[in-house]
A and B are shown apart, each in its own frame.
Chain A
Amino acid sequence: MSASDDIWILGINMTKFGKHPDKDIVDLGAEAMMAALADGGVTMGDMGILAAGNLMGGGGVGQQLQKQVGQTGIPVYNVSNACATGATALRTAIMAVKAGECDMGIAVGVEKLAGAGLLGGGGTPKKDEKVWEPSGRFGAVANPDGVIGTNTMPGVFAQIGMEYGHKYGGTSFELFAKISEKNHSHSTLNPLAAYSKEMSLEQIMGDMMIAYPNTRPMCSANCDGAAAAVVVNGAKLRTLSKEQQRRAVKVRASVLTTDPWEEACQVLPDVNTLTKNASAQAYESAGVGPDDLDLVELHDCFATAELVHYDNLRLCEEGGAVDFFESGATWRNGATPVNVSGGLQSKGHPISATGIANIWEVCHHVRGEAGDRQIEGAQVGLAHVIGLGSACGVHILEKSGL
């Protein structure tokens, strides 16, 4: 074992996203792990660390997964970091390998969410006697959700998009719906997406309003799914077969940030500053710039969120996200294809799997294995996730030159 600065994805997999009523989280996570190991041509016996991400399953999923796929006594890290959980698990495995604790590790993210409905909203507890009694950090006498703003995710992210519109102008209900139209169109080429139907602008705008300007198809789809990735250091990789070396994908940058204090960040979550910081760090450590990216998978948990991240990831000039989108740049035949997988709005968003599944998508393209939806000649791609609260993961991945 030796510490090595170059880190590679050796094997990676995502399950089909959607409804899996016949499988529990252990079945789904194990399916992704077994497939990622097979993809890399290795077994659990080669792994020196397991990082397992899951939010809704009650804890300890890593050990349950070991019992399912192979118990070797290696350290397990169960991680939880909101919607950035998958990226955090991957980064945990990368850090262990980079630190020289082991040559190879595996990260997995798994979630079962089908039918979970609206996330983030609270309920009002029923009492026999009605007494206004202050409680909680704000001394609230009643649940403030819906009275002092909204806690629902579609509503929070709607405000994030609208705030961008207030600052720079040019946004409208139709503009945000067009972003969703793009992602739904992209999803038709992705057999692993939860929803892969083309939707017209009219259908999207005419669908059920959830939180203006986000209608139902403009919101990420709650679903079940898992994704897993095997990471290896460069020294070890060079001892493996030519085929393994050729298919390995180089991790040019792996960054995780939280939001530094900014005025208003505790009033409306600030998903901008930490994404700007993460992308700046990632571009610097990778030695690549936004112009070098052949594709981007970014966290479009809502159509309103995708717009602000064009700017945060420096895909466009500051304040220029609307014009950038209107230019057609982010369609799969544009200059910077964004969310060619269909994004969270159609591929689906099984929370903890998302931050590895987006890396799988980029790997698929730079390996030249993306079939019908292959971005021709893709060499470098970026994957981004945001977990509200907040945490941001950015990974930059590059085709193997070995």
Chain B
Amino acid sequence: MADTKIPLVDYLSLDGEPHLIAQECTSCGAKYFDRRNACAGCFATEFSPVEVGREGVLTSFTIVAFAAPGVKVPFVAGVVDCGGISVRGNVINTEPDPDHVKLGMPVRLATYSMGADDHGTEAIAFGFEPA
């Protein structure tokens, strides 16, 4: 049991090299990270899972200094363009300040442990680190 791992969210796959999975509309190619009854773009109803590229470009960010209770600050929240798929995630493994985090900087997916629960299951989260 001790080596069981669980992803923070179900669109993070831990099979092989960790990667994100989007649900792609088979009609127009729109991507979603959770379920849809019909595509918000074209109303088609069929979706298939696609792997999201692990590398991308930081297209926006903020450095959050003041957050809800229990949320550790400061942290960098951002949007990463992974080959045309926009992904929401934190920028990690770098100093959370405007000297280290820049618009347009190349980043790649990285994972880390959020610790184990009482059954020894370890939760794995993801972020993006400078590439």
Q: How far is the CB of A383 from chain B (nearest CB, A)?
A: 27
Closest chain A residue to B69 by CB distance? A123
* Residue tally, chain B, CB below 8 Å to A: 52
Which of A93-101, A259-267, A275-283 is the interface stretch? A259-267
Residues of A contacting B67 with CB < 8 Å? 118, 121, 145-146, 150, 152, 155
Residues of A contacting B63 with CB < 8 Å? 209, 211-212
Q: Please tell me which one of the listed residues A129, A151, A163 contacts residue B79 in the complex, with CB atoms under 8 A apart.
A: A163
Given A131-B118, A159-B79, A268-B79: A211 touches B66 (CB 8 Å cut-off): yes
Q: How many A-B residue pairs have CB under 8 A?
A: 161
Residues of B contacting A148 with CB < 8 Å? 8-9, 88-90, 125-126
Contact B86–A264 (Cβ < 8 Å): yes
Distance in angstroms between the alpha carbons of A146 and B69 in the assembled complex: 10
In the complex, B47 has a CB within 8 A of chain A: no
Known: A209-B66, A211-B66. 20 other contacts (CB 8 A): A118-B68, A138-B34, A140-B9, A141-B7, A141-B123, A146-B75, A148-B8, A148-B88, A149-B90, A155-B64, A159-B77, A162-B103, A173-B98, A209-B63, A212-B65, A212-B98, A214-B62, A268-B60, A268-B79, A268-B86
In the complex, A210 has a CB within 8 A of chain B: yes
- 0 or 1 for each of A154-186: is its CB under 8 Å from B? (1 = yes): 111011101101100000010000000000000
Contact A131–B30 (Cβ < 8 Å): no
Contact A121–B9 (Cβ < 8 Å): no
In the complex, B14 has a CB within 8 A of chain A: no
Closest chain B residue to A262 by CB distance? B41
- 0 or 1 for each of A100-117: is its CB under 8 Å from B? (1 = yes): 000000000000000000
Given A163-B59, A264-B86: A146 touches B64 (CB 8 Å cut-off): yes
